[in-house]
Chains A and B, each alone.
Chain A
Amino acid sequence: MNNDKLIIGGREFDSRFILGSGKFSLELMNSVINNAGAEMITVALRRVNEGGINNILDYIPEGITLIPNTSGARNAEEAVRIARLSRELGCGDFVKVEVIGDSKYLLPNNEETVKATKILAKEGFIVMPYMYPDLYTARALEDAGAATVMPLGSPIGTNKGLSTKEFIRILIDEISVPIIVDAGIGRPSEACEAMEMGASAIMANTAVATAGNVDYMAKAFKNAIEAGRLAYLSGLGRVLEGKAEASSPLTGFLED
């Protein structure tokens, strides 16, 4: 279990907690990352204030893998353009594809996400698409060359937990690239539950950013994610459904 690495696009990570960055003060970045033990952080490219004051990139410690996201993209074409821009700005090859055409619920558009993933994967990006957990879309994303699939636990920003749990479970069973639960996770216990189910990692922002003490909450998530991972790796103990086993075996009549 010591060699339990998360591998995304050929890169190895020890941490399975991906932090979002948009909702807490930049000055807290370093200590939140440390407490979270995070090695990856997502940044909205539209927040990158190149050469300007409060530039988010200036606050990201060395050694942390930057995952620019395409928030603001309303269709595949816009997501592709933002990703290319991000590469030009020197933000690396990782990209979290977010295509959102609804300003009210901020739900991802799966169809456009597949289109963008196809184009960007061909261009050599390590594509991490954010999606609504649908098996057909997940397969299409995998075929398109996605490095991970990132289904939402609940609508973004709601802290409502794993309301799509049964569908995420299907993706975990059927998809071979890492499944990273993104959006909606509100509590460490929910992150733990997703990890127990076999999710490869958790991405969170609002849950940490809106906590009374962001450092403590970052640490709580770290511990919960590690606990969930360990439980998954050790094989959960058998839980019997209904009553105990029947006293006379149902197959006792068989003669051979």
Chain B
Amino acid sequence: MLTDIMQYRENMEIIDSDMLDKVLEYRALYDYNKYTEEDVKRALSKETVSLDDFGALLSPAALGFLEDIAKKAKIETRKHFGNSVTLFTPLYIANYCENNCVYCGFNCKNKIHRGKLNAEEIRREMETIAKTGLKEILILTGESRNMSSVEYIGEAVQIAKEYFSTIGVEIYPVNCDEYRYLHERGADYVSVYQETYDKERYAEKHLSGSKRVFPYRFYAQERAIIGGMRGVGFGALLGLDDFRKDAFSAGVHAYLVQKKYPSAEISFSVPRMRPYINNEENNPKDVHERQLLQVMLAYRLLMPFAGITISTRERAGFRDRVIGLAATKISAGVKVGVGGHEGDNKGDEQFEISDPRSVEEVDNAIKRFGLQPVYTDTAYLL
């Protein structure tokens, strides 16, 4: 028996916010087929991009203008970030998961090798990572409160504080006081991806576990900001549902959060489901590199000041060209198993990476494109 995705569970904090209704209303009204070439041109001629212009930039009509959109996005990226590109690496400290998300490698029904690092192992991994020169780390777990408690994650954050100047977490959504707890230990950034903003599709894809509760996940960024975090990351898993509608929804979500909390730093990630290769049918909803870039460029023009991260799920040749154009942050020296920077994996990977380059190699690539690698760009203050 599947549960109601709108029903909060015990201990899930409810905050006073109507943002979910607003985002879903924008989503329902978004009809990307109504936009014409003229609408795209108009959006491109504007100095400030409205949510409606953003809709036009994400529409199929805009695909024909990708080069023009890229030119404008590059100028915006330059104005706001100069030629800086920030480097970081993710560290998976555990891969236990209590959710049954049908598309995910960490799915609790999957028989994969599970594990978690103890404090000593976390320290050794971080030491090894710090030796590469990185100063920013993203701590990840699978989504299991039982196996990876908030205290456990807090301990990892505290160790990270000794080696890194910037610490982010990508973990299961938690309550405001728990975000505050992690912030007080040194974390300043929280990423939570809604996967899809379509309630029906969300219900089909997230069959069980806490993640099934749609609004609790949706309000994670607001809770993180209330808990004192400096910045929050947004994203939809593009291709899980209609990617244009989901990219639009994630953009609206981030836009409204920044409006409500003006000092919050906003960032986007753009994970995607890869289209099957050699698929005879050409599905217009597939997310090829062209569409992926379109989404990144639209985010850039909607929020010229927002960070955009490009993950190692994409190939080196793509990553190297989107930095400076739209992306401002790039991971390097990435291992997606549990640990694995120092010694062997303690657990299997969530996905395969397409860009295995080391920190030094990525650093060189950034310079080769006339950009400057930046290792530290935030101030943790508590």
Chain A positions within 8 Å of B, measured between CB atoms, are 22-26, 44-49, 52-54, 72-74, 78, 81-82, 100-104, 106, 157-159, 205-206, 209-210
Contact = CB atoms under 8 A, between A and B. Distances in A.
Contacts of B264: 103
Interface string B62-101: 0000000000000000111111100000000000000000
B372 A25 contact: yes
B373 A54 contact: yes
Given A23-B81, A103-B258, A158-B79, A53 B303 contact: no
A23 B265 contact: no
Nearest to B231: A103
Contact of B84 (A22, A78, A157): A22
Contacts of A74: 263
Interface pairs A-B: 3 shortest CB-CB: A23-B82, A72-B379, A46-B379
Interface in B247-287: 258, 262-266
B83 A72 contact: no
B377 A52 contact: no
B83 A209 contact: yes
A74 B165 CA distance: 18
Nearest to B130: A52
Contacts of A48: 376
B378 interface: yes
Nearest to A70: B379
Contacts of B367: 25
Contacts of B265: 103
Given A49-B165, A52-B376, A106-B305, 12 more contacts: A22-B82, A45-B379, A52-B133, A52-B375, A53-B133, A54-B374, A54-B375, A73-B381, A78-B381, A82-B379, A103-B262, A209-B82
A103 B263 contact: yes
A46 B377 contact: yes
Contacts of B212: none
B82 A210 contact: yes
* Chain B interface residue number, banded: 20 to 34
B370 interface: yes
Interface of B: 78-84, 133, 135, 165, 258, 262-266, 303, 305, 363, 367, 370-379, 381
Contacts, number: 82
Interface centre among B81, B367, B376 (most CB of A within 10 A): B376
A72 B303 contact: no
Contacts of B377: 44, 46-47
B82 A206 contact: yes
B344 to A, nearest CB: 28
9 contacts: A25-B367, A26-B372, A49-B376, A53-B133, A53-B363, A53-B375, A82-B379, A102-B263, A209-B78
A119 to B, nearest CB: 15
Contacts of A49: 135, 165, 375-376
Contacts of B84: 22-23
Contact of B83 (A23, A45, A100, A102): A23
B27 to A, nearest CB: 22
A102 B376 contact: no
A104 B372 contact: no
Given A24-B372, A25-B370, A101-B263, A157 B83 contact: no
Nearest to A26: B372
Contacts of B133: 52-53
A26 B371 CA distance: 10
Given A103-B264, A104-B262, A206-B79, A46 B305 contact: no
- Of B82, B262, B263, B377, most A-chain CB atoms within 10 Å: B82
A28 to B, nearest CB: 9
Contacts of A81: 381
Contacts of B82: 22-24, 205-206, 209-210
A187 to B, nearest CB: 14
A101 B303 CA distance: 16
A72 B258 contact: no
A23 B258 CA distance: 24
B259 to A, nearest CB: 8
A205 B263 CA distance: 23
B89 to A, nearest CB: 14
A104 B376 contact: no
Nearest to B306: A103
Contacts of B135: 49, 52
B319 to A, nearest CB: 19
A47 B79 contact: no
B190 to A, nearest CB: 15
